[in-house]
Amino acid sequence: MSSPVLGLPCLDLIHPVHDDVVLRTVVGVDDLITGPDVVSRTPGRLICRIDGTLQDLYDLRLFNSLAVLVPSVSSVLRSAATGVISALRSDAPLRFRIAPGVLDSSRLHVALDELGWVEDGSDWSVNFVDGVDGWEAEIGPFHWSRRFGKLERLPWSTKPVVAEVLVRLAKVQAGDRVLDPFCGSGTLLAAAGSGGQPVIGSDIDPRAVAMARSNLVKVAAQLTVASAEQLEHSDGSIDRVIANLPFGKLVGSHTGNTRLYPAALREVARVLQPSGRAALLTDDKRLFEAAVAGTKSLKIVRRRMLTYSGVTPTAYVLTRTRSRR
């Protein structure tokens, strides 16, 4: 069967498989990935042994892609028989791509032709690339662009996996009022609201808010055009705040942040309820930490540096400080 939405091969998530796979993720996230039988971890890359169904792994939204380790033709055939590739379901022959420069690609072509697969570089379900120890077969339905769905994006939009990390660090729970006061195109709110959680977002850019409305049609979202320096929410009314702050690189400026960060943090402190929690991402770190230090009733309780797309921002977890009697 094919995906009714994408028209692409889909996965039988309850089909038992036996395989070794590599998960690629944002550097700084790999230690958060638990559940699979992890054989080895290196920054941004985990090798896992799968012995069972794929449902839990598919639901784990902390990696960008999954590839089967297939160092030989026999391992390709084995995965097609009992491994992850065997869980692919389609009404038509599976489509594959072999990346340019893959070693010994002619031998791989012969094996795939014998399986009856069709080469299609633009609409593949399995993409063969060179890995550390031979071929790796990237599985299309596990790619982030297909798992997370297509979103309209701005150049500075948060990457979906980074959004999932912030939601996890914020410890969003059922019933929480979740606010993103820098919502942009809504990637963070899509992650926070993916389980039916109502979310609230605002941004000073009307174009970004319009884009967020388009991206969040399946999410219970309340969106407004507003400045993060003057939020419309009442004191102590928000349980969780998540945001990707302007770094001053693709959007905003360091000079602007010297005013924006202290003002926005004062508003976060005001609207956050006493047991609330905020997960905020920025690469303007020194300024941010100074702004938190100058904000009454907020403190940093955790830092996590991420690396992706040539930047190394830090995700900060903030909570309210307790008032002294």
Examine residue 155 and state whether it is found in any structural domain, yes or no. no
Total domains in the fold of the chain: 2
Residue position matching structure tokens 């004062």: 266
Query: Does residue 315 sit in the same domain as residue 167?
Result: yes
> End of a domain among 147, 175, 191?
147
Q: What is the CATH number of the domain that holds 174?
A: 3.40.50.150
| Per-residue pLDDT, 250 | 63
Examine residue 154 and state whether it is found in any structural domain, yes or no. no
What integer is the mean pLDDT of 119-131? 94
List the structure tokens of 212.
Answer: 């967020």
Tens-digit pLDDT profile for residues 49-104: 999 999 999 999 999 999 999 999 999 999 999 999 999 998 899 999 999 999 99
Query: Does residue 259 sit in the same domain as residue 111?
Result: no
Query: Does residue 112 sit in the same domain as residue 237?
Result: no
Query: Does residue 164 sit in the same domain as residue 310?
Result: yes
Separation between Cα atoms, residue 168 and residue 50, nearest integer Å: 24
> End of a domain among 114, 147, 180?
147
State residue 71 phi and psi, 5-degree precision.
Answer: -70, -10
What integer is the mean pLDDT of 187-210? 93
DSSP string, 255-291: HHHHHHHHHHHHHHHHHEEEEEEEEEEES-HHHHHHH
Separation between Cα atoms, residue 158 and residue 205, nearest integer Å: 16
Task: Give the confidence band of 251 by pLDDT, cuts at 50, 70, 90.
Answer: low
Query: Does residue 171 sit in the same domain as residue 227?
Result: yes
In this predicted structure, the answer to whether residue 28 has a pLDDT above a threshold of 60 is yes
Contact between 44 and 25 under an 8 Å Cβ cutoff? The reply is yes
Query: Does residue 313 sit in the same domain as residue 167?
Result: yes
Query: Does residue 143 sit in the same domain as residue 170?
Result: no
Query: Does residue 37 sit in the same domain as residue 121?
Result: yes
The residue segments making up the domain with residue 67 are 10-147
Separation between Cα atoms, residue 265 and residue 278, nearest integer Å: 10
Tens-digit pLDDT profile for residues 163-189: 999 999 999 999 999 999 999 999 999
List the structure tokens of 241.
Answer: 């705040």
Question: Across all residues in the chain, what is the average pLDDT?
Answer: 92
Query: Does residue 29 sit in the same domain as residue 93?
Result: yes
Query: Does residue 300 sit in the same domain as residue 179?
Result: yes
pTM: 0.90
Task: Give the confidence band of 248 by pLDDT, cuts at 50, 70, 90.
Answer: low
> End of a domain among 147, 174, 205?
147
The DSSP 8-state label assigned to residue 236 in this structure reads: T
| Per-residue pLDDT, 195 | 79
In this predicted structure, the answer to whether residue 3 has a pLDDT above a threshold of 60 is no
Separation between Cα atoms, residue 250 and residue 37, nearest integer Å: 38
| Per-residue pLDDT, 9 | 60
Q: What percent of the chain has pLDDT over 90?
A: 82
Q: What is the CATH number of the domain that holds 112?
A: 3.30.2130
Strand order of the β-sheet with 126-131 is 37-42, 45-52, 17-24, 65-69, 134-139, 126-131, 95-98, 118-119
Task: Give the confidence band of 5 by pLDDT, cuts at 50, 70, 90.
Answer: very low
Query: Does residue 207 sit in the same domain as residue 128?
Result: no
Helices (H) and strands (E) in the chain, counts: 9, 17
